[in-house]
Amino acid sequence: MSELIKHECGIALIRLLKPLEYYQQKYGAWLYGLHKLYLLMEKQHNRGQDGAGVAAVKFDMDPGMPYIFRHRSIEPNAIDDVFRKISKTYRKLEKKDQDLMSDVTYVKSHIPFAAELYLGHLRYGTFGGNTLDYVHPVMRQNNWRSRNLVMAGNFNLTNVDEIFSILVDLGQHPKDFSDTVTILENVGHFLDTEVQRKFNQFKAEGYNNREISFLIEENLDVSYILRESSKKWDGGYAIIGMIGHGDAFVMRDPWGIRPAYYYKDDEVAVVASERPVIQTVFNVPYEQVYEIPAGNALIIKKKGDVFLSEVREPKPKKSCSFERIYFSRGSDRDIYRERKTLGELLVPSILKAIDYDLDHTVFSYIPNTAETAFYGMIKGIERYMLEETFGNINGRNQMPGKEELAAILYRKPRVEKVAIKDIRLRTFISQDKGRDDLVEHVYDITYGTLEPGVDNLVIIDDSIVRGTTLKKSILRILDRLGPKKIVVVSSSPQIRYPDCYGIDMAKLGDFIAFRAAVRLLQDTGQHKILNEVYRKCKEQQHKPKEEIVNYVKEIYAPFSEEEISVKIAELLKTEDIKADVCIVYQTVENLHKACPNHTGDWYFTGDYPTPGGNKVVNKSFINFMEGRNQRAY
């Protein structure tokens, strides 16, 4: 993808279902769980590079012995940094005494992360500063084991203010106004409530306090805690948590916006944000890795019971389609097929853009995630050329000669590796956004791949969000090859509306599609629509989120998708670019054909699954009109 979009975080959870001795004997290391957690996190590295964190809970430790451990990092290689810190706790022992290192009883008493339950998180920050305070997992500590709570997640709430007010009305004094702290304290409050409820029950039955502590841990109703705490949540979330005595949970929003998958056998229960990660790390087939249903929580009790519990009524499923287009690893069986289909479905529009002149068109892609859609695009072009070949031969009265037949049969799409991404340069530039002269060189080109002034160049990318990299780098560098026409193809539709569920696309004014629509309104003398939409948005600004309407749709209504695409091309083409520039977008209809089970398309259509979405787009437009360059939630 040509543009860096910070997006959904990555989660990982491992519960060892056997005693540590089992893994020492079978795999030669009590570190089995920790090693697997590292792999789960490293293979989800694409999901978070702003920070990483790991927490662990030891079971059945004596009073006075620590049992919850955590390391977090915001270093450039955060995963390595976290596990380097963890490994320091046992490396000395490993060098000093191999026998003690293999003595699970000793290790569990003396080595911090020798535990049965692990949680890992990778952070892509869309809100707040990039300090350690914002890195998951977060903790709520207490002297009663069952009141300790460790949480992490891939989520964004649109109504943090509402939940924050509820906590304040309860008498709490949260230390930060963020969805992370708010959710932690919200769940923590109902954990306290459930513990107290159980305490009162067992006290009335005549048990002493020490007995009650163990009874609470055995009988804690995690489903109740999650059901009560999440009643007011508006947003997309996949939240993982561990309770101090050993219960664990993973909860998914009712619309299935944020992804979560699990696997269980007699040795482990595992959760991750992506299916192929679990498949690879545990060497299990696709069919044995399950999606956590929307509105459900996977609950893992300390005694080893693993079950699904419906904690929120499932809504019409609106799983994030951007996961399929770009965010998730392309090694997933279904995602690979879907991305190829996205590319293939673009072929009719591409052929129209190049006036069907395949003999003078070179096809390529923006590295690296657009590669799969590129394969699909080429497959579609090959099919079209094959049909052309059949028509050519069948339409003749006699068979062509050998040379002519060979020319017909050997005709293939012209495929070249045109664009090359300079990873190091991009990393450097991302820390110094003001250097436009360097931005131009984020990508390099392969010279001699097309005939100047004669050939068209079709190049596919996952999406075009802001258009900044296209304008300042890609189009300029591609133009050096001298193509007659540059056709930039997006495997996703036009991004028109802000996201509020975990993707860093929160400001309307950033979107090239929105800027194009605004310019079209001005060019066609319809700028009064902007003022009318602004008036409507201001009038409903303080209404309950359930009553807010997405009037921003009226900005796009006067124009076709093609008209907006043409204007986008005009905005992206600078005076120094000699080639004609054309932008081709995927249609929403074809997106749903390619990804039928992931219909979340609010950033394309403005159809938000939760009421909070309309509130966010309403505020985002007001911010734009009032010149405030800030997020709407």
What domains does the chain contain, in order, with CATH numbers? 10-317 (3.60.20.10), 323-329+342-625 (3.40.50.2020)
pLDDT at 1: 53
Q: What is the DSSP letter of 323?
A: I
pLDDT at 424: 52
Q: Are 611 and 518 in contact (CB under 8 A)?
A: no
Residues 6 or more apart whose CB falls under 8 angstroms from that of 33 comprise: 14, 16, 23, 115, 116, 118, 268
Task: Report the predicted TM-score, pTM, of the whole model to 2 decimal places.
Answer: 0.93
Burial of 197 (0-12, 13-18, 19+ CB in 10 A): middle
pLDDT at 94: 87
Query: Could you report the average pLDDT of every consecutive run of 10 residues in the chain (633 residues)?
Result: 62 98 97 98 87 97 97 95 94 89 95 98 71 91 97 93 89 82 94 98 97 97 98 96 99 98 99 98 98 99 98 97 89 96 98 98 92 98 92 75 76 94 52 52 88 98 93 94 98 96 87 98 98 98 97 98 98 97 98 97 98 97 92 70
**Alpha-helix runs per DSSP H in 251-346:** 275-282, 321-322, 333-345
Q: Name the one residue in this structure whose structure tokens are 């309104």.
A: 521
Element (H, E) at 109: helix 104-110
First-to-last CA distance in the chain? 26
Q: Are 315 and 609 in contact (CB under 8 A)?
A: yes
CA distance to 436, 475, 577, per residue, from 440 (Å): 6, 9, 13
Of the candidates 273, 320, 272, which has an alpha carbon nearest to the alpha carbon of residue 501? 320
Of the candidates 83, 171, 100, 180, which has an alpha carbon nearest to the alpha carbon of residue 139? 180
Q: Name the one residue in this structure whose structure tokens are 């800030």.
A: 630
Q: Are 443 and 422 in contact (CB under 8 A)?
A: yes
